[in-house]
Amino acid sequence: MAENRAVLNEGDENEMEIFGYKTERWRKVLCLLGYIFSIGFLKLLFYWKPELDVWSHCIPCSLAEADTVLLQTTGEFKDYTKKSVIQVNLHRTTKTGYPIISDENSNVCKSIVEPEGQVRYVQVQKIRYIWIPSESKFMKSGVLEEGLSCSNIHSKYGFGLTKEEQKVRQQICGLNTITVKIIPVWRLLSKEVLNPFYVFQAYSLCIWIATTYIEYSLAILFMTTMSICATVYNLRKQSVKLHKMTASYNSILVSVLHKNGELEEVKSQSLVPGDVIVLVGNKLYLPCDAILISGACTVNEAMLTGESIPVSKIPLPNINNSIPWMAHSGDDYKKHVLYCGTEVVQTKRNSQDIVKAVVLQTGFNTAKGDLVRAILYNKPMNVKLHREAIRFLMVLVAFSLLGVMYTAVVHKMNGASVHDIILMSFLMLTVGVNAALPASLTLCLLYGQIRLKKHGIFCISPQKINLAGQLNLACFDKTGTLTEDILDLYGVLPCEKRCFQDMIFCTSSNNLCWCLLLQAMTSCHSLIKLDGKLQGDPLDLKMFDGTGWELEDYKAKIKEEGPPNICTMVKPGPTAAKAPIEGILILHQFPFSSSLQRMTVITQVIAESNMTVFMKGAPEMVVRFCKPETVPNSFSKKLDYYTVQGFRVIGLAYRSMQKGLPMSSDIEREEVECDLTFLGLLILENRLKPETNSVLQELSEANIRVVMITGDNLQTAVTVGKKSGMLPSNSNIIMLDACEPEKDLPASLTWKSLTESQANGNHSKTKLHTNESHINVGGGWINNPTVLGNFHFALTGKSYQVLTQHFSNLLPKILLNGTIFARMTPKQKSSLIEELQKLDYFVGMCGDGANDCGALKMSHVGISLSELEASVASPFTSKITNIECVPVLIKEGRNTLASSFSIFKFLTMFQLIGIVCIIFLFWKQTFLGNYQYLMQDLAINITIALTMSLNCPASKLATYRPSGHLLSPALLLSIFMHLTFTVIIQSTIFFLLQQQPWYNETDVFSACLPLNQSTENITVREHRHAENFLTTTMFSTTGFHLIIVEIVFAKGRPFRQPLYTNYLLSILIIIQVAVYLFFMFADIDSLYTIMELVCTPYYWRVNILIMVLVLFIVSYVAEVWFIDNRDLWLWIKRMLHYKSKSQYRKMQRRIQKDPEWPPQNRIDYAMQSDPVENCGIVPNIAKESGQTIVTVM
């Protein structure tokens, strides 16, 4: 049989396995009979478990023959989905066999089965996957093929599609809409009601009504109905909100260019991949993802990044090669892509070309659609905790099943009828799971979300609040996060004749005179003027403001034979120094890219024929493109001088071009970014935010490791790390410099040790030691669970990349103490976060820019510093534009996690106390009265569910995290211990009660009568089933016991505020105690009659109260002094030789035994077939976890 399995979205985040099945008629008939005989339960089971539905109705077959497919997620949480295979017949006007699709290699063309003209597809999570017979797999429709080269896109799609091809593509790919339909109330209601929890609730209600618990059943029914209505209302509200958010992108009018040259205005929903759209005017919201092929434009990508800074887009070059266009562009491919939902704020034509873009992706395949799908189909969070919760609930169910067996045996021994035995057994089964558990845990997250909102932190993924409480490593971007977003222009360091000149300090009264350096500062940027105001990157704004020049649009002829183009012109302003020109035209831009670490512009002085290229970027990157004879010998020394003081340093360079500029769309960076002349350095001051030091100190004191991941210079980052306290003054800093293999030399890794020296009271200066001796680490091992030793590694993105490729086994050891990561590209930032997670760190990332989006999404908890209320870049968005939001979020995360566990423990004990009580009552064939149960369930159970998680977080971060394991020894021991106390006190009271002289199972009204009076002289009514001494005693005992565990589990420290700060819960506890004391000592006949209580002697009530007080003291002392005694647990772990199973802990233990770690002032080489003998040195060869390394001292 052909392959019946395939993988969808292989390697992607939403990777799924797909299995083919064919429906069998006889199986359908058998299932139908099963529905009837099981009274619909089998159908309900299939609804919960779609895999059982498929396996019951179908037989496996090849995907080519399948009419049904079963999809399974490949992640840790295995989730199944059933989908039908849809077959459509294409409506075509051309003859069969005539090639409708111009590109025969496209998936659209391959999906058509000739001569029938049929296409098969499945719709999964809003994405259509079409069947490709020639490749025997399903592939995404609605996207342009990734294998297309730059020339393919220009030649095959650059002139548009025919109308016939567009119609066929539309039938195969579907409409270009991001439609989220408003879900009908009946569907939301049925989905909610069919939830397993509510089905169990329905079962419980039926049993309670059958046992005449009418009042309690009605109360639960009312609360359940209100809960369902509230949930349905919120879901409906979200559905309407999401529908409105997406509807605006489905009816945009766009201009489409057809192959015959016709320009037609159509609705955006008719767009298909391969269409050519023409961008005219400004303020246009893009309805699809598209590749810019001619002209240039500026877009606002705040919808994607949360950063409202204009981004320049340039056309895809028409390069004649076979390399896929995305691979050709590398990490910088986004500069050619216009994303759906972003706003085009400005367009610029080049020569005669109009601004054109080829549609790349449509519908839910787009960037906007991806975000909407992320909201619709949330990935399950904290899978391990979820599984532990299921296991724990199964244990409770098993406990209930034992209770069912006990109930059946006891009632049979006492001669109960079969009806009563079955009814009581079913009743015991309802006690297993607390009905308030799901709602309570949901409320806990909701309260946490509300508290965060009060602090200006908005959350779009509440499940991640608990994860925030587990963080033990926090990563920070530098600029705009640790340091001020706004840079101050400190000065300019010109370079002439290969020598640096004196610093020119930039002040409001000291503008630069006319020179090439001034030209570079005025033109090498991506600023635009929008609504009369300059907008762009803060660095560009500060640099341009320092010149005193102005910016405006200008019409200029780039080609003599062509029409004038609108381009940007800069000219001297009123405050600028005099210049002998009218202005400078910025003819073409290669926008700044974090991965390339530079930007370049082509400019022309008005009225001059020659052109000038200016480059701006990281100094180390800029000098690579400069002629060596123009770079000063003291370049590295000067760069270190300023970066070590924490300045942000930018390199500037230029070259002259003769007249004659090729077509803008054909310009390659390599053509202009060569043979540059070094101009000098731009020095900007980047001050620390005032809150940075205190926050980092707070995190450090809480044993939360802090790491800097920045795109800035390494020395600058190290200096900021020292100033901020991230790198302690007494620590040893080891700089790592890894190099790619060169000629006969393999990849190398240099370890350079930095030490601090203090001289003559001056500020500390950094000295680089290159001697061969090892420097002893005097600080020893510090008491930090996440950092090993008093040393820190600092390295660049280039070195990190080499480490991942050539020193992969050494990388985890370096990450244990890696603190500064500089010159990191966005891709490298995401990779670093992933590598840290592999070491079992719980990683948080805090950043403010588009460059951090990947890292924010990759981390366990991403916090975006943005003024927007909710950034799609990360689950958390803070209006606090500094890192103070990080400890606030961690505190709340710990509070919410601790509250969740406290609620879980209380609701579990609530059920266990009830089960033990029922076991004793069933022994005497009785049970609590309706109103007694109402008291426990409404006055205690429900009120606790609503109020226990109202505690605010502790004001100070503890030095350790709350346990993230539901099945941790401490939690299980706590429940077992309190269960033991329950059994002891209830069994004690059960047996003591029966030994009292006044105890009688039939005469229940004589215990409080005087000694000389008997019930024979008074009229006594017939007592009800629940009116007896045992139920009255058990009601008081279990009620007080529930209040005790409520107080014990609601304690605050160290992760929450104390119990008394939760005013509502404190008041409710006082009321509960008062009410139970009132019931205990009231002696009001009418009240006792309603509550089905009987009077007992005062001494017995006092005895119960004394036992309850003893129980409270024992429970509280045991919980606080034993269960919550961290020192005791650490001692137990030491006695049992318990070792943490976290990867970073295991590695720390191994490294502690290595006397040569960390290496200092040496060079390591990755071993190749021909090692470094040719260098004339004798290497020391060592093996590092299976990887051979050559060490040169």
Report, as residue numbers or ranges, the catalytic residues.
477
How deeply is 253 buried, as exposed, middle or buried, from its count of CB atoms within 10 A (0-12, 13-18, 19+)? exposed
Helix count and strand count (H, E) for the chain = 37, 45
Check: CB of residue 906 under 8 Å from CB of residue 948: yes
Instruction: With beta carbons less than 8 A apart as the criterion, state whether 236 and 183 touch.
Output: yes
Beta carbons within 8 Å of 325's beta carbon, 6+ residues apart: 148, 149, 150, 152, 153, 291, 316, 333, 336
The token duo for 4 is 């019946």
176 Cβ neighbours under 8 A, 6+ residues apart: 142, 268, 269, 270, 271, 272, 287, 288, 359, 362, 363
β-sheet bridge partners, residue 254: 266
Q: How far apart are alpha carbons 898 and 556 in whole angstroms?
A: 66
Q: Is 729 exposed, middle or buried (0-12, 13-18, 19+ CB in 10 A)?
A: exposed
User: What's the helix, strand, coil split of the chain in %, to 5?
Assistant: 40, 20, 35
Evaluate the CA torsion angle 272, 273, 276, 279 in order and state its sign. positive
3-state class of 199 per DSSP?
helix
What does the alpha-carbon distance between residue 706 and residue 142 come to, in Å, rounded to a whole number?
A: 43
Q: How far apart are CA 1014 and CA 1003, in angstroms?
A: 10
CB 125 within 8 A of CB 325: no
- Residue 675 C-beta-side C-alpha neighbours within 13 Å: 6
Do 682 and 650 contact (CB within 8 A), yes or no?
yes
DSSP 631: S
For residues 798 and 824, give the distance between their C-alpha atoms in angstroms, rounded to a whole number.
Answer: 8
C-alpha distances (whole Å) from 17 to each of 78, 136, 671 are 10, 14, 46
What 3 state SS string does 495-546 have? EECCEECCCEECECCECCCCCHHHHHHHHCCCCEEECCEEECCHHHHHHHHC
On the question of a cis peptide bond just before residue 1054, with omega within 30 degrees of 0, the verdict is yes
Token pair recorded at residue 294: 């001619």
What count of other Cβ atoms lies within 10 Å of the Cβ of residue 634? 13
In this structure, the number of other CB atoms found within 10 A of the CB of residue 229 comes to 12
Kindly list the distances between the CA atom of residue 383 and the CA atoms of 160, 379, 463, 1001, in Å, as whole numbers in the listed order.
Answer: 47, 10, 11, 51
SS (H, E, C) 105-168: CCHHHHCCECCCCEEEEEEECCEEEEEECCCCEEEECCECCCCCEHHHHHHHHCCCCCHHHHHH
